[in-house]
Copies of this chain bind each other. A is one copy, B any other.
């Protein structure tokens, strides 16, 4: 059997409660005994049992992240990779750990939530890109369960961390328009997903401000879907510029374009979102909007831990993280017949 506080107490000739006190850093312990206890702990290589602690303290020190993506979809999406990696990194210096689950669809996701939080497996939840009609949020709030949302709260009062996607898309679109491209279209994600809807909005704002008509195509997330949609999109229209939902989908567009003999830039200018490493893999680089995910996640985690550890209900806060356009080759201006 593993060594317990009981065991340490026996060795150090104190009560088990004293061992617990030493562990908790209680000041009211005689230095001699404290030393004896610490010594016994070291000698027996003692470690408190987190399961017992969890039961007693009602805290598992686990943060849950539930990703919803159809089969294998998260595998190659740099947004998720970056999200997970950053989350784990931010959590590292804290005492919390990351519990990662995957759900296939919304109903599946709900049941994962149930398993995770009704069974009290995690202390709090990080929600990503909640869909507009999401019922989860209401349940979570009713249960007074600590959670933060990464993405647009859609007017609901909760703790959210988000970019201004409308603004970001407007900025990206304006950049293309400023560079002299006129027939600028947009390849968006599925309707109903907030991040996509917002970017569509921003794109439309920019286009109408400048008096151009807009044209939006919707596609599922991911490389393959974007590639397929892009093929027909490029065939049916003669766009000069394209605002693409994210870098990962942009690589799909790149592939479709290459397949059709359309060169980017030159025949088609493109801007995208996320500023991931994929931007460097495309010839000449892909102009992309950096969403500052690192900052966003750091802030979100810090708030979540605050929620978990304080009993008081803090006022819902919405934090908007600024974006920054990273200009690369894909959005270069046409000058004469060549590129600038």
Residue contact A75 to B80, C-beta cutoff 8 Å: no
Q: Is A163 an interface residue (CB 8 A)?
A: no
| A277 to B: closest C-beta gap in Å | 4
Residue contact B99 to A99, C-beta cutoff 8 Å: yes
Which one of A29-37, A54-62, A179-187, A311-319 is at the interface? A54-62
Q: A78 CA to B114 CA in the complex, in Å?
A: 30
Q: With a CB–CB cut-off of 8 A, which chain B residues contact A17? A: none
Q: A102 CA to B87 CA in the complex, in Å?
A: 10
Which one of A229-237, A238-246, A279-287 is at the interface? A279-287
Residue contact B280 to A281, C-beta cutoff 8 Å: no
Q: With a CB–CB cut-off of 8 A, which chain B residues contact A62? A: 99
Which one of A44-52, A170-178, A203-211, A213-221 is at the interface? A44-52
Q: With a CB–CB cut-off of 8 A, which chain B residues contact A276? A: 76
Q: A48 CA to B55 CA in the complex, in Å?
A: 12
Residue contact A251 to B85, C-beta cutoff 8 Å: no
Total chain A interface residues with beta-carbon distance under 8 A: 53
Q: Is A89 an interface residue (CB 8 A)?
A: yes
Nearest chain B residue, comparing its CB with the CB of A78: B76
Which one of A6-14, A118-126, A193-201 is at the interface? A118-126
Residue contact B97 to A98, C-beta cutoff 8 Å: no
Q: A78 CA to B283 CA in the complex, in Å?
A: 20
Nearest chain B residue, comparing its CB with the CB of A118: B47
Q: With a CB–CB cut-off of 8 A, which chain B residues contact A84? A: 84, 100
| A71 to B: closest C-beta gap in Å | 8
Residue contact A47 to B119, C-beta cutoff 8 Å: yes
Q: A49 CA to B251 CA in the complex, in Å?
A: 45
Q: Which of B75, B80, B98, B223 contacts A99 (CB 8 A)?
A: B98
Q: Which of B76, B80, B97, B119 contacts A277 (CB 8 A)?
A: B76
Q: Is A101 an interface residue (CB 8 A)?
A: yes
Q: A255 CA to B278 CA in the complex, in Å?
A: 11
Q: Is A72 an interface residue (CB 8 A)?
A: yes
Q: A23 CA to B281 CA in the complex, in Å?
A: 54
Q: A278 CA to B281 CA in the complex, in Å?
A: 9
Contact flags A281-317 to B (C-beta < 8 A → 1, else 0): 1110000000000000000000000000000000000
Residue contact A99 to B102, C-beta cutoff 8 Å: no
Q: With a CB–CB cut-off of 8 A, which chain B residues contact A86? A: 75
| A79 to B: closest C-beta gap in Å | 10
Q: A50 CA to B223 CA in the complex, in Å?
A: 38
Contact flags A253-270 to B (C-beta < 8 A → 1, else 0): 011001000000000000
Q: Is A157 an interface residue (CB 8 A)?
A: no
Q: With a CB–CB cut-off of 8 A, which chain B residues contact A75? A: 78, 81-82, 85-86, 277
Q: With a CB–CB cut-off of 8 A, which chain B residues contact A85? A: 72, 74-75, 80, 102
Among all A-B residue pairs, the 9 with the closest Cβ atoms? A47-B118, A76-B277, A51-B54, A81-B81, A88-B102, A75-B85, A51-B55, A50-B119, A98-B100
